[in-house]
Amino acid sequence: MSFIPNTDSDRAAMLEAVGKPSVADLFHDVPASHRFPKLDLPPALSEQEVLVELDTLARANADCGALPCFLGAGAYRHFIPSVVDYVISRSEFATAYTPYQPEISQGTLQAIFEYQSMIARLTGMEVSNASHYDGATSTAEAVIMALNVAQGQRRRVVLSAGLHPHYREVVRTYTQGMDLQIIGDDEDTGPLELASRCDSATACVVVQSPDFFGRIIAPAVLTELAKKVHACGALLVAAVNPVSLGVLAPPGEAGVDVAVGEGQALGNAMSFGGPYLGFFAFRREHVRKSSGRIAGETVDGAGRRGFVFTLSTREQHIRREKATSNICTNQSLNALAAAAYLAALGPRGLAQVAELCWHKAHYAAGKIGAVPGFRAEKAEFFHEFTVSCPIAPAEINRRLFETHGIIGGYDLSADYPAEKFPARKNQMLFCCTEVNTRAEIDRLASALAEVSHA
């Protein structure tokens, strides 16, 4: 069966319209030698042989399931209860595309509504949208929202250097051509110093807590920052780690206007960096400037509970060419995984996960800090912390992996080069979650003692 929907006569009509005698003439600009190059492929394999081959290739990977891993830096390994995969594997959810007549898919809308309700509760914000692609795109959408709240009258954005480097890059990519001035991340200052760079031309200040270095912005500091930012008439955007909210105060309580972040840690595997989900929660007063879409609960004509798409004010199908957000979809299955994870754990379960992360990371910081030549940063942190090393982190990671079978930490030198950030010289990030055992952490500490003077 042919999957080409147009017929021979359709094609003849189209060729005549463009004045070409044959389909081959359409490819006339591609040099003949490149049109059908010899691919030099090995002979075809049977299905059984292919599976053996792929299995062998997969075994060549060193993955976090097999080796102790202390990498974080935005993607985190957590235990995922089996119920999460069970729920998201149901064909009603797994195979569904965003419904174009959304109300026909009540189950999808209910799942999104429940996801939104949990995110709003977790962040302490009034409204959550149905999610974005990842933490970086959520952050960029928050910046665009702030620009729209200012009705185009404020063209400056202040970013913290502690905001994930990828998020800062995506903010710059999303807003290129908008004639903005993006400042603040050229030096690693405290959160309150960012407020001093805020003025009547500033649309928003974006911070992260725990930040990229793992440091927690204390609730009192975040509250004071929010007051200062609001005094300038700007919005405060905070990127937060959702698991940390099991023990930390929600950003909404501090007066944050938009709380965004990477939702992967909630029931989604690291899976090579995506697909992930970006959560996006905010104050109701800005709902008309919000991005993405919002599912809502209502009743039908007979008074029965039902779900609808309530709002998608900035999207193409409403605003056409004036759309300010062209994200008309999300990765709903990832949002569903987050909802299933949060439902499975409950508030107490999430708090336990967060406590385990905190304790294990602090145990690890103590052990690593006691290794001669290593110094763990003293700031308040959650489950990730910076360590100053006696030699280059890249070399440490290589030796940890090759000699000890340990996946080490995140080398900060590419994102924070020593010539611009001298305090970050030879620094790396280590992360511990509830899945790291005490034995693994002890092994890491003794391995570090060896590799640093090998």
Partner 1 sequence: MDSKVDQGVRYSKTHEWVRVEGGEAVIGISDYAQNKLCDIVFVELTAVGREMKVGAACMVIESVKAAEEVFAPVTGTVTARNEALVKTPELVNSDPFGKGWLVRVKLASPSEVNALMDAAAYTSFIATL
Task: Summarize as ranges the residues that interact with partner 1 (CB under 8 A).
Answer: 151, 153, 288, 313, 318-320, 322
Q: List Cα–Cα distances, 356 to 167, 218, 245, 302, 394, in angstroms.
A: 27, 20, 13, 48, 28
Taking Cα atoms as reference points, which of 402, 429, 398 lies closest to residue 415?
Answer: 429
Which CB, 129 or 313, lies closer to partner 1? 313
- State both tokens at 419: 């010539």
Cβ proximity to partner 1, 89 vs 153, nearer residue: 153
Nearer to partner 1 (CB atom), residue 153 or residue 446: 153
Q: Of the candidates 282, 287, 197, which has an alpha carbon nearest to the alpha carbon of residue 238? A: 282
Smallest distance from the beta carbon of 282 to partner 1, in angstroms?
Answer: 16
Tell me how far apart the alpha carbons of residues 191 and 224 are, in angstroms, rounded to a whole number. Answer: 10
H helix intervals, 370-416: 393-404
Q: Can you tell me which residue has the tokens 């060419």?
A: 321
Q: Any idea which residue has 């928050």 for tokens? A: 142
Report in angstroms how near the CB of residue 25 gets to partner 1 at its nearest: 43
* H or E, element range at 130: none
Q: Which is nearer to partner 1, 316 or 352 (CB)?
A: 316
Q: Would you say 387 and 428 are in contact if contact means Cβ atoms under 8 Å apart?
A: yes
The DSSP symbol for 180 reads: -
Nearer to partner 1 among residue 25 and residue 285 (C-beta): 285
Q: Closer to partner 1 by CB, 55 or 321: give it.
A: 321
State which residue, 223 or 324, has the beta carbon closest to partner 1.
324
Q: How far is the CB of 325 from partner 1 (least distance, A)?
A: 12
Handedness of CA 124, 128, 133, 139 (dihedral sign): negative
SS3 183: strand
Nearer to partner 1, 319 or 425 (CB): 319
Least Å distance, CB 97 to partner 1, is 25
Token pair belonging to 45: 């394999």
Bridge partners of 410, per DSSP, are 429
Nearest approach, Cβ of residue 280 and partner 1 (Å) = 20
Consecutive H or E run containing 158: strand 156-159
Determine if the peptide bond prior to 275 is cis (ω within 30°).
Answer: yes
Please count the CA atoms within 13 angstroms of the CA of 270 that sit on its side-chain side: 14
CA atoms of 175 and 182, how far apart (whole Å) = 10
**Within 10 A of 83 (CB to CB), how many other CB atoms are there?**
13
User: Please, are residues 239 and 222 in contact by the beta-carbon 8 Å criterion?
Assistant: no
C-alpha of 376 from chain center: 26
Question: Of 312 and 334, which CB lies nearer to partner 1 in the complex structure?
Answer: 312
Contacts 24+ apart (CB under 8 A), 15-24: none
Which CB sits closer to partner 1, 294 or 429? 294
User: CA 269, CA 445: separation in Å to the nearest integer?
Assistant: 26
Smallest gap from residue 17 Cβ to partner 1 (A): 33
CB of 153 to partner 1, least distance (A): 7
Task: Choose between 155 and 172: whose C-beta lies nearer to partner 1.
Answer: 155
Residue 320 beta carbon to partner 1: minimum distance, rounded to whole angstroms = 7
